[in-house]
Amino acid sequence: MEDVRDLKALQLDALREVANIGGGHAATALSQMTNRTIMIAVPEVNVRPLEEVPDLVGAAGEVIAAVLMHMMGDLTGRTLVVFPEASARTRCDILLRRSPGTTREFGEMEQSGLKEAGNILASAYLNALSDFMGMVLVPSVPSLVVDLSGAVLTTAYLNFGHERDFVFCVETSFRVEGSADVLQGHFLLLPDMPSLRAIFDAIRLT
């Protein structure tokens, strides 16, 4: 399947604009949730074969927190929101309104906070894509896994992937007002083959 190689700069710009809109919606929702101003930038949007995704989100031996949801509605597939471990801990401090560096482990409250943050991000990006395509996209209840990057992504690959699958990967940078720290994360959209073709068709019309 050569669709990715056929994408023109203008079409990638359309994807980036969709991602920027989603990031703006997510920033608003997270700011309301934490009562702090949170800014989200989308520095990079990639469409890659599934097997190349581990190279985008970090080394296989690094611990990540990954929020997984199924995408349902007019398109189907999975979404994965990936936070590096340090970034996930800082997010817990922000979400739970703690002093920086307080979170040491991912207990029940921390896991709940990360799932809610992942749900907000995934929903915002899916809503932006839904508006762009004129389709209904609905995320499932989120689940969370904290493990080595290689183990998490291999599991996603084994449970879902085929050798011809492609992933939409949105790199996101979070900044909290009053803090110099920039928190990294990735939103991954893994559409099934019919949904992938529908997205490519919609992009080509731009």
For 151, phi and psi rounded to 5 degrees?
Answer: -70, -45
179 vs 125: which has the higher pLDDT: 125
Residues 47-67, mean pLDDT to the nearest whole number:
82
pTM of the model: 0.88
User: Rounded mean pLDDT of 89-103?
Assistant: 90
Q: Provide the pLDDT confidence category of residue 1 given band limits of 50, 70 and 90.
A: very low
Q: Which of 52-56, 69-73, 106-110 has the lowest mean pLDDT?
A: 52-56
